[in-house]
Structure 1
Amino acid sequence: MQGYKNSQKIVSNSELSTFLKFWDRFSNPHPILTIRS
């Protein structure tokens, strides 16, 4: 049961980091991304 909870936590952290990157790209576009687009 402990291993299952740990694996779920890893998935949640991965999804959270992906969401933060996605949101950061829209809220604060990086200079490199702005130049490319």
Structure 2
Amino acid sequence: YTSGTTGKPKGVVHTTGGYLTQAYATTKAVFDLKDDDVYWC
């Protein structure tokens, strides 16, 4: 929801694209993953 400082709070739609892109980049950097690595999750 928005903060509602100028009226009643309103719902906001968030996309997951930015989050997933950042999660991918962070995971790849932290764990030094390569495209041909095989792992189980």
Going by fraction, where is helix more abundant, 1 or 2? 1
TM-score when normalising by structure 2: 0.38
TM-score when normalising by structure 1: 0.42
Q: Which has the higher contact order (CA 8 A, sep 6+)?
A: 2
